[in-house]
Chain A
Amino acid sequence: MTAVQAKPKRRARGTRAQRDARAGLALVSPTVIVVVVMVVLPVLWALLLSFQRIRLIQIRRMDILGSEYTLRNYDLLFGSSDFLAAIRVTLMYSVLGTFGAIALGLIAALLVRRPFKGRAAVRGVMLLPYVAPVVAIAFIWRVLLSPQLGFVNAVGTDVLGWDSPIPFLSQERGEITLFGLSFGVPTALLMVIFFESWKSFPFAFLFILARLQAVPGELEEAAKMDGATPTQVFRHILLPQLAGVIALIAVLRFIFTFNAFDEIYLLTGGGAGTEVLATQVYSFLTARNDVGASAAVAMFMAAVLAVLLLVYLKFFAERDRPA
């Protein structure tokens, strides 16, 4: 038996804590550098751009920091009815889209909660709308809803007896007659909200299902012993357990939907009353070549989210503390 006491070769000097601190900084620095260079600095620069009158043609010879700062972009925006309309549409789209996704996700999660034959396959299939490329699913729905060759309108006119095909994605206002009462509906906006709910419900489904699996079985058993019906179990046992995760999903989905560009751009191009702030940023940048105005709209979006997030954090930090 040889008891060789190998002396650890340590090139680094200093105490263990100092060595860890140095190693930690070294290892995390590539991440931090990428995020600072590609996210933090661009955001700060966008802030500067939003206070300048800059067009795309001028960028080749412009100064990085710019020269003349003015509030004119913001001034013009808040006087523009297009911008105010886009704020309203964005809020409707993100609130109703978030609500739709969570409602569908919650129902789906409750449905597949208990084991049944083929459950794994059903669960996998239900995630498809969320993982499939947004370009593909947007075009599938564009074809499905098309007035000329779409399946939905074919069924509507042949089976359901509609008078004429409905141009779902290009009709700004339609009329629905229910029980003799007719009222106007923003057709295209409802369609993009519906699309958003369909595309994103798997996200809510996945997280709610994961949380449901962790609800202790004894609670439910006890309630059942006391004669609680399924809806009572849901209302008084499951829902309180799910409240936290639903609130979190609501915040995340609201942020994602508020920022969403692809879905609306691909479905309607922002036409027919569906122009949201994100598509407005894009059209300012590319169609009107107005870098300053597009940056101002984008900064406004970031500011709205920052305020909402602060409110949420404050509200929740205070509610969670006693627990």
Chain B
Amino acid sequence: MRRRWNRYAIEVAALRVLRPLGIAFFVLITVFPFYYMVLLSVRDISEIIESPGSIIVGLGELSTDAYERVLKPTSEGGEGFLRFLLNSLLLAAGTVVVTLLVSILGAYAVSRLEFFGRRAVHFLFLSVYLFPAILLAIPLFVAFSKMGLRGELWVLVIVYVAQTLPICVYMLRNYFETVPVSLEEAAEVDGATRMQIIRKITLPLAIPAIAATGLFVFMIAWNEFLFALLFLVEERPNWTVSLGVSQLTNIETPATTLMAGSVILTVPIIVLFLFAERLMTEGLTRGAEKG
């Protein structure tokens, strides 16, 4: 180095300071809103109105009133969220089971078998993402209203399956292509049928990918809002947690209740995600490395 403070040294020194600051900034903007949500859900509403800027709460001030109000059934003056939790769980689990069953077969076919129209399948899938959900919502809303089935939970399962199938087939296909074909050919020589090969060879090897895909679908179904709003809003017993929280916004609902509902909506997803983060992000970005 000829000079002590050339451009190189300045940039390196600046980065040494800016990098930790930047990381701290990003952690702050991602964590703080969630912290704030939990904080408000356990505070007393009068204290929040009094000092909205305070972001710590004494242990003595903790209050679980908001949670009680949100979870209690409507007959006891609550918002009935236990029921909504059950609905969301059934809806998401049902979507996962059906989507996986259908997409495993589809992904296997696309990755292993040469058949007429194999390439056309991709264009079919592209269409799901190109068309706005709100565009699909109109004809589905009209059709299910016409059939008198609009408020049913199982109808929503079918809608969600259609929305998640393409991404599932894509994720699973990427994984199946990493399973060596030779294993399957060995089984075939031994006389196994196609279904036996899928069940006994391919599926056990693909368990991590299937788990990741299943979790992904669960999250999409649990978080979904538009179709739940359009299809279920007049059918309160069938509300999902997302829809329940979104309907808490009338004037007399305190912010603490709203935040308690949001915590109940968010916690299952964050727990699932932290538990399986690696599994899921790898499944999604596989292939991105190639550019």
Contact = CB atoms under 8 A, between A and B. Distances in A.
Interface of A: 6, 8-9, 11, 17, 20-28, 30-32, 34-40, 42-43, 45-46, 49, 56, 59-60, 62, 107-108, 111-112, 116, 122, 124-129, 131-137, 139-141, 143-144, 146, 148-151, 153-155, 158-159, 198, 202, 206-207, 210-211, 213-214, 227, 229-231, 241, 244-245, 255, 258-259, 261-262, 266, 278, 281-282, 285-286, 291, 294-295, 298-299, 301-302, 305-306, 309
B252 interface: no
In order of increasing CB-CB distance, the 6 nearest A-B pairs are: A24-B115, A24-B113, A38-B162, A154-B53, A31-B106, A259-B132
B36 A122 contact: no
Contacts of A241: 291
B288 A245 contact: yes
A127 B165 CA distance: 23
Interface of B: 7-8, 11-12, 15, 19, 22-23, 26-27, 29-31, 33-34, 36-37, 40, 48-49, 51-53, 55, 101-103, 105-106, 108-110, 112-118, 121, 124-125, 127-143, 145-146, 158-159, 161-162, 165-166, 169, 188-191, 193-194, 219, 222-223, 225-226, 230, 241-243, 245-246, 249, 255, 258-259, 262-263, 265-266, 269-270, 273-274, 277, 281, 284-285, 288-291
B132 A133 contact: no
Contacts of A286: 230
B30 to A, nearest CB: 5
Given A8-B189, A40-B127, A261 B246 contact: no
B270 A132 contact: yes
Contacts of A27: 105-106, 108-109, 113
A115 to B, nearest CB: 12
A42 B49 contact: no
Contacts of B189: 8
A302 B130 contact: yes
Given A128-B31, A143-B258, A135 B131 contact: no
A30 B105 contact: yes
A125 B245 contact: no
A229 B8 contact: yes
Contacts of B49: 148-149
Nearest to A149: B52
Contacts of A214: 289-290
Nearest to B188: A8
B139 to A, nearest CB: 4
A134 B240 CA distance: 13
Contacts of A261: 132-134, 226
B237 to A, nearest CB: 19
Contacts of B125: 35
Nearest to A41: B139
Given A8-B189, A23-B194, A129-B30, A28 B115 contact: yes
A282 B273 CA distance: 31
A125 B31 contact: yes
**Max chain B CB contacts within 10 Å: which of A32, A133, A154?**
A133
A28 B142 contact: no
Contact of B105 (A31, A36, A295): A31
Nearest to B245: A135
Contact of B130 (A107, A149, A158, A309): A309
A125 B23 CA distance: 11
Contacts of B291: 211, 241, 244-245
B285 A206 contact: yes
Contacts of B7: 229
Given A27-B105, A126-B26, A150-B52, A35 B128 contact: yes
A124 B52 CA distance: 29
Given A149-B49, A210-B285, A245-B288, A306 B130 contact: yes
Contacts of A229: 7-8, 11-12
A49 B138 contact: yes
A42 B136 CA distance: 6
B27 A140 contact: no
Given A31-B106, A281-B134, 12 more contacts: A34-B102, A49-B138, A122-B23, A126-B27, A135-B245, A143-B259, A151-B52, A206-B281, A207-B288, A229-B7, A229-B12, A301-B135
Contacts of A34: 102, 158, 161-162, 165
Contacts of B245: 135-136, 139
Contacts of B117: 25
A114 to B, nearest CB: 8
Contacts of B23: 111-112, 116, 122
A35 B124 contact: yes
A137 B225 CA distance: 13
Contacts of B143: 42, 45
Nearest to B128: A39
B139 A45 contact: yes
A211 B291 CA distance: 7
A132 B34 contact: yes
A31 B114 CA distance: 16
Given A211-B291, A229-B7, A134 B223 contact: yes
Contacts of A259: 132-134
A246 to B, nearest CB: 10
B140 A140 contact: no
